[in-house]
Structure 1
Amino acid sequence: MSIWFGMRVQVPCFEWYVPERWATLNSEQIETVRTRVQKAISPLKPADFSTRAPKGFLFNAKRTDAGRTLPPYYLVYFLLVDLLGFTNLGQFEKVAWSVPVEYDGRPFLVEHRKFGLGVFAANVPEDEQAAAEIVRLIHKATKAAQPYFDWKAEQAAKASQLNVVNRSPELFERLNFSLALYADRQQEAEGRKDERVVTHLSEMSYAVAFPAVELSREAKWLGLSAIECFFSWTEHVFIHIAILRGSCATGEDVAKLAKAEWAEKFKAALDITDPTTKQFYDQLAIVRRQLRNFVAHGAFGKDGEAFHFHSTAGAVPMLLPHRRDRVALKFGQGVDFVAAEAIALIRQFIDHLWSGPREPAKIHIQEFGLPLNLTKVVNGDYTRAMTSVEDMESYADHQAHLNALYANMDF
């Protein structure tokens, strides 16, 4: 029995996919890549009118073991549908896309289903060997198509049809974890500040230990770790806030901001013309320079904080000022690893960050943990949602519902 693979009758949302921006490529280059890929993937070809398949094949085909080793689903889709023009039958229940192919006169499906991409066959395990060969050919063709994938990614970066991954919730959890450890150790040190532990070594000698000293040192280390976590989180979350504010609308904008210094990210997310914000900015910049940068550069810092010069008074600390005046030298005590004030500043800034016009952003970024869709910057969805907490709660809840549907492939 012959089956026409041009459509799947129970799928009302079927659309023919037309690759975008092909006109911007040199047609000769396109044909060169396509010819190379077609040669690599042969004899695998699209299923057509002449492909014979058993009744109900589209709905009864079974997953093969070989299909579990295919390349990532997006590469396979771009390879078969975008570049080679294989037919995509569209979405179906628990199926994101389905491409019917023919190999050795037999029908197979390359489908992205709820439990992953795979090669599906009518007769399993009899078709396993053929499925393994299909996988090998797709891997071979994927390597040949690499220039096309690179171009695809480059074009996507220039546009707004991109999602930006949101890791803010997990980075913030890491920060809170470090802050909690620091607070616990500091509290224990304070509670045991008068405690002495005497150990008799012999009849004539003994040793005295002060637990609070060791606990304070550990609290200091944990405080530095918390500061590191704070700047890691803010480097990430500032970009997301900037997107919600409309400061970043394309992949190139996001990539440029991601490469920028922490100060530029801060300014993209917050308005430093606000006096309170400017005060936080100045204080955090000092913490970053004096503590984080110092530790991050092997406790030497960027400007020679580890130097002492020789004198008749002994060794004298010599600090090179920050970048603005590298030539001049000054006396100083080095960088003091006192974290308490910095930790207090961090806690105050977190409250400030999620206040005022940025309060709705917390719902989207931290509470729902949603990725950022740059298309929604362009069409104004984020601008409207940022109007109030209520608007953002409604919007984020709807987006989370849609994400759950797509994750489960409930089309």
Structure 2
Amino acid sequence: MRKKRPPDVDIETVRARAQRAISPLKAADASTCAPKGFLFNAKRTDAGRTLPPYYLVYFLLVDLLGFKNLGQFEKVAWSVPVEYDGQPFLVEHRKFGLGVFAANVPEDEAAATEIVRLIHKATKAAQPYFDWRAEQAAKASKLNVVNRSPELFERLNFYLDLYDDRQREADARKAEKVVTDLSKMSYTIAFPSAELYREAKWLGLSAIECFFSWTEHVFIHIAILRGSCATGEDVAKLAKAEWSEKFKAALDIADPTTKRFYDQLAIVRRQLRNFVAHGAFGKDGEAFHFHSTAGAVPMLLPHRRDRSALKFGQGVDFVAAEAIALIRDFIDHLWSGPREPAKIHIQDYGLPLNLTKVVNGDYARAMASVEAMESYADYQAHLNDRYANMDF
């Protein structure tokens, strides 16, 4: 069934509804009486700590209702003077968070509590405007894309290290056996390496899962730096696409080495990751054995191309060592050649991606060389630190 298109938002209707909800709170004007030095001496109220997210409050007061924003100054991102019950207050986004600031604290706490209540009420009334605002932003390029690549890669390395540790210990104890006497007539023999190899296999499978999770994310960021995604809609479309499409958006499979990695990783994804993700049944009957006079015989349906045919096989035998070696080789390949500058921005600095910089050519210039990207990423990290500290 086709999803119905949401009705167009009548901004004026939403504005009128939000204005009624926020009343009697209003924007401060020339008639508002404030004590001397109020803008610099106002103190944070406890009530202001429970305001909605800063961006909703800003969009409500400044964008929708037209309250005046005094702008940026030291440790303040924006400041909106308001009046309630004849008293002046500030709704400000400062370094330590959004808040309501008053001249007399704690005497003004009751009024600040009511201001917060009215802002919450108006924010709820303005929800259609926020949704419309986000929808319009998604169609444009004035967007940042969150970068979680460093933490996802760290999780991958965590499991790879554990896998390596188990493999090394299993290899070192391969000849070891533990004999336990149960009685004079019986005993058991255990080989510690067998259990260690089994744990290594589990850790290897976890590492493979982490690898595909990381690549699903990092491919989109590489595609942005390459200029393949320039709007929010482009990114959203790619995010919903199959892993193979993300791979092709980030890397050129016309390159023989890249194509070889693509083909081999597709096999790993199909035979290992998809098998585990579908309850160890896989998608093509990997869990079946058919009856014969020779006993139970593994039966594996070939992937996709001829789903009606059956073939003999061992189902999906997890050969973790080869898969782990493959993904390690691919990681080296991923950050080589024309993609080497991308590693600096995405993995080393962990910077978010700004789609505006795709449009204005900043990323294209930075991707020209490692030196250009190092200079660019260092400058962007400096700007981010300044904005995080509100050093305006």
TM-score by length of 1: 0.93
Paired letter, 2:261: F
2:249 maps to 1:249: no
Equivalent of 2:144 in 163, 166, 170? 163
Secondary structure of the residue aligned to 2:305 is helix
Moved over 3 A (4+): none
Secondary structure of the residue aligned to 1:333 is coil
Equivalent of 1:108 in 65, 76, 89? 89
2:351 maps to 1:376: no
Equivalent of 2:51 in 70, 90, 114? 70
Aligned to 1:334: 315
- Structure 2 distance, partners of 1:396, 1:31, is 42
Equivalent of 1:315 in 286, 296, 303? 296
- Structure 1 distance, partners of 2:80, 2:198, is 62
- Structure 2 distance, partners of 1:108, 1:309, is 77
Alignment of 1:106-145 (within 5 A): 106-145=87-126
2:23 maps to 1:42: yes
2:230 maps to 1:216: no
Aligned to 2:340: 359
2:238 maps to 1:281: no
Secondary structure of the residue aligned to 2:180 is strand
Equivalent of 1:203 in 184, 200, 207? 184
Equivalent of 2:12 in 8, 22, 31? 31
2:72 maps to 1:82: no
**Displacement of 1:313:** 2.6
Aligned to 1:230: 211
- Structure 2 distance, partners of 1:111, 1:277, is 51
2:114 maps to 1:99: no
- Structure 1 distance, partners of 2:42, 2:204, is 57
**Displacement of 1:315:** 1.9
- Structure 2 distance, partners of 1:38, 1:311, is 78
Secondary structure of the residue aligned to 2:215 is helix
**Displacement of 1:317:** 1.6
2:356 maps to 1:407: no
TM-score by length of 2: 0.97
Kindly provide the CA deviation profile for residues 323-368 of structure 1, in whole angstroms up to 9, marking residues without a partner as x: 2222222222100012000000000000000000000000000000
Kindly provide the CA deviation profile for residues 278-309 of structure 1, in whole angstroms up to 9, marking residues without a partner as x: 00000000000000000011101111211122
2:40 maps to 1:59: yes
2:345 maps to 1:350: no
Name which of structure 1's ranges 311-320 and 366-375 shifts more when overlaid on structure 2.
311-320
Structure 1 residues without counterparts, runs of 5 or longer: 1-24
Structure 2 residues without counterparts, runs of 5 or longer: 1-6
Alignment of 1:15-30 (within 5 A): 29-30=10-11
Secondary structure of the residue aligned to 1:112 is strand
**Displacement of 1:390:** 0.4
Q: Percent identity, aligned pairs only?
A: 89
Secondary structure of the residue aligned to 2:318 is coil
Kindly provide the CA deviation profile for residues 374-394 of structure 1, in whole angstroms up to 9, marking residues without a partner as x: 000000000000010000000
Aligned to 1:7: none
2:359 maps to 1:386: no
Secondary structure of the residue aligned to 1:403 is helix
Secondary structure of the residue aligned to 2:282 is coil
Secondary structure of the residue aligned to 1:109 is strand
- Structure 1 distance, partners of 2:301, 2:125, is 53
**Displacement of 1:204:** 2.4
Kindly provide the CA deviation profile for residues 225-266 of structure 1, in whole angstroms up to 9, marking residues without a partner as x: 000000000000000000000000000000000000000000
- Structure 1 distance, partners of 2:64, 2:188, is 77
Name which of structure 1's ranges 271-280 and 315-324 shifts more when overlaid on structure 2.
315-324
- Structure 2 distance, partners of 1:165, 1:159, is 16
Secondary structure of the residue aligned to 1:324 is coil
Secondary structure of the residue aligned to 2:210 is helix
- Structure 2 distance, partners of 1:159, 1:324, is 40
- Structure 2 distance, partners of 1:216, 1:368, is 36
Paired letter, 1:96: A
Aligned to 2:277: 296
- Structure 1 distance, partners of 2:178, 2:289, is 36
Secondary structure of the residue aligned to 1:321 is coil
- Structure 2 distance, partners of 1:250, 1:302, is 34
**Displacement of 1:110:** 0.3
Secondary structure of the residue aligned to 1:48 is coil
- Structure 1 distance, partners of 2:107, 2:95, is 24
